[in-house]
Amino acid sequence: MFWPLRRKSRRKMARISIEGPITSSTRKWFLKAIKQVEEREFPALLLRIDSPGGTVGDSQEIHSALVRLREKGCHVVASFGNISASGGVYVGVAAEKIVSNAGTITGSIGVILRGNNLSKLLEKIGIRFETVKSGAYKDILSPDRPLSDEERNLLQELIDSSYEQFVTAVSEGRGLSASEVKKFADGRVFSGAQAKDLGLIDALGDEEDARKLAAKLADLDEEKARTVNIGSPKKRLSGLIPGNHFFSKLFNLLSMELTSGTEVLWLFNP
């Protein structure tokens, strides 16, 4: 049993929606929301995901929080919206079941670390960096010079380690072997229909289908069980630009780059 049958929340299920890039702010409000789900003793959580991905660490912490919630007996069903890729998948595979629209963009399982080599541009305009560092790799990915072979190998090892962690999460969450996951975990994206054939999701359907499945798993009335929205992410400036998806997405990308610098790993589908 999850919790004693003494709270009205036992007749309802919680709903949390992750929208946009997964960043530290996403993690902070999400963990607070999960705490509310535990305190209010909801028997099920409907997790709506509409995200292109985000940072590795934040995605992992959200994943871990969902696993702990399930261990306490709460049933978690994920519903993939327009896009649930990369870090969105990392979070989603922590759910007991995943429901996706047939046309949802998902997949993009992989890790990326990107820097900018502006050395030729800086040379043309007469700008040169003077660097004093404590170790050979302290200025790795500095924009004023290209990577050395040793630096590239070092970063590749870092990427490979994070990639293996991602594969393990998908493997354990979806009941697939690591070798099966690696057959399609090369950064490519899929439709929801393709993802179902690969075993990445359980069923095709919309959020209402996911709600009914969550109710069924928690022994609630599938028709009458209501959802209670928990948590609300802070409004991003991009949301204040009405009717312009291009500038909205551009702002999200710039925000991610500004907060990441050049040393944060991303689970992100551009």
- For residue 122, give the nearest of 143, 141, 139 by alpha carbon: 143
Residue with tokens 């700008």: 127
Question: Is 25 one of the catalytic residues?
Answer: no
Total Cβ atoms within 10 A of residue 136: 11
Report the alpha-carbon distance of residue 161 to residue 154 in Å, rounded: 11
Helix (H) or strand (E) holding 45: strand 44-51
Given the residues 138, 148, 161, 232, select the one marked as catalytic: 138
Asked if 12 is an active-site residue, the reply is no
In the numeric block, the tokens 């007749």 are attached to 11
* Residue 41: both structure tokens together: 């003793």
Angstrom distances, CA of residue 77 to CA of 13, 116, 187: 11, 39, 24
State the catalytic residue, choosing from 86, 100, 142, 248: 86
Residues marked active site are found at 86, 138
